[in-house]
Amino acid sequence: MKGLVQIAVTAALVAGVTAEAGHNNRHQHMHRHRAINVANAPDVVEKRAPAVTTVVTPVETMYVYSDGEAVNAAEAKACIENGECLVVGTSTPTSTSVTPTTTKATKQAAEFFESKATSSSTSTSATSSSTSTSTTSTSTSTSTTSTSTTSSSTKAASSTASAAATGSGSSSKFPSGTIPCSHFPSDYGAVAVDWVGLDGWASIQTTGSWTPGVSISDIVEPISGGCVEGSFCSYACAAGQTKAQWPTTSQGATGQSIGGLWCNSDGYLELTNPNFDTLCMDGLGGISIENQLSDVACVCGTNYPGNEMMNVPLVTEPGSTYTLTNLNAKTAYQWEGKYTSGQFYVNNAGVSVEQACIWTSTEYPTSAGNWAPVNIGAGTDINGITYLSIFPNTPTTTAELDFDIEITGDITAPCYLKSGSYYGGSSGCTTALTTGGSAVIVFKASS
């Protein structure tokens, strides 16, 4: 697939689309790249050869191939209908819960991304998938003979020291290699997501071994149980924060994202990101959510890098205001050399966190979790500009949100969803913060 296309437009920074391998077998409805920084999420199309990218502004949509060749909307539509292009997003959702038949899976990045991190990056784009349905990978690892990076001093850590090590919140330095994998590190700021069934962990990606700098092609994801030896164990962080641990030089060989702490061969948790000694890091701030509804409303961030499930919870209670994580592109996870920003799923009022922050909701299979009606994009790019967007979760779902959303505050352009209609059109809207400003995303009853 050709390189990233980046076009700056009024009140929107829009990036190109990258292809990827088939998603986790649990994700029957594939979570393909919704690859537009923090801007609108319209129908983005990908031509199998070459790729098609949608570039969006609040006023106009145009289509271009990733090599820069323009294509009009009619041609893009015909390309999709003829099967030569496919929507980069997901396959048609179903109302039945998907039961996995195996735990082996490969995945691809699911967040917005915007640009090359450095011109010297050696990362390569993932191979484009030619089908629109999920497939299960059975590839074998080429790095399973490598050894853990655990040092001899780490291996010598005593069980007594491990049991005594406790933190005092997200600002506490994590004592790498001294805490048993059986201990969920909530005392170091990690937030347990117990409804997922992994002893509080957001995801567990078992690779058997890990050598920094070596790509990982064999990833097994347990669907129950706790953090086990030879696994990356991911976790959620509090509102306004994001995960700080992921293997910076060893990611999935075909575009899978991998995140969390490493459970070494001795059964102890190790840090994976040499740039941070804490589990969570603060976002840049400046963005909050105010719930003016009479009921709870759940906003679910993606576990990224990790299994990319939308299970990072922000439960907004009536009459309360919360910080929304504003990712700093310079310090956040980079997918194949590209900066990323946050994606959040907005569920209908009254849906519990157990039914909202999960891939498939048993109670609301076509309108919650991965099929939540609305997405919010948020993040600050490398130039220090903070972008915010509200857009329908299409083509994943046709569900409609049962309340209104409006972005208020120090913003460059209006952006709202009122009575089912978005400012600027059906693709949603994007705005940016003025220098030094802040914004509030207001949830309120439909007018």
**Segment (H or E) for 163:** helix 159-164
Flag whether 147 is in a domain: no
Per-residue CA distances from 239 to 262, 281, 288, 321, 441 (Å): 24, 11, 10, 11, 14
Give 312's strand partners.
301
83 contacts: CB under 8 Å, gap ≥ 6: none
Q: What is the CATH number of the domain that holds 372?
A: 2.60.110
Q: What is the pLDDT of residues 273-290, one digit of tens each?
A: 999 999 999 999 999 999
Flag whether 411 is in a domain: yes
**Segment (H or E) for 74:** helix 73-81
Give 440's strand partners.
288, 408
Q: What is the pLDDT of residues 138-184, one digit of tens each?
A: 333 333 333 334 333 333 343 434 444 577 788 889 999 999 999 99
CB atoms within 10 A of CB 270: 22
Q: What is the pLDDT of residues 375-413, one digit of tens each?
A: 999 999 988 999 999 999 999 999 999 999 999 999 999
Strand 338-346 with 203-206, pairing: unpaired
Q: What is the pLDDT of residues 195-232, one digit of tens each?
A: 999 999 999 999 998 888 888 888 999 999 999 999 99
SS3 196: helix
Structure tokens at 213: 């700098």
Number of domains in the chain: 1
The helix, strand and coil proportions of the chain, stated in percent and rounded to the nearest 5, come to 5, 30, 65
Flag whether 253 is in a domain: no
What torsion, rounded to 10 degrees, do the Cα atoms 139, 231, 146, 255 define? 50
Strand 7-9 with 429-432, pairing: unpaired
SS3 164: helix
pTM: 0.69
Flag whether 348 is in a domain: yes
224 contacts: CB under 8 Å, gap ≥ 6: 197, 198
Asked if 446 and 26 count as a contact pair (C-beta separation under 8 A), the reply is no
Flag whether 135 is in a domain: no
Q: Give the structural domain span for 424.
A: 282-444
DSSP string, 386-399: EEEEEEE-TTT---
Flag whether 98 is in a domain: no
Flag whether 297 is in a domain: yes
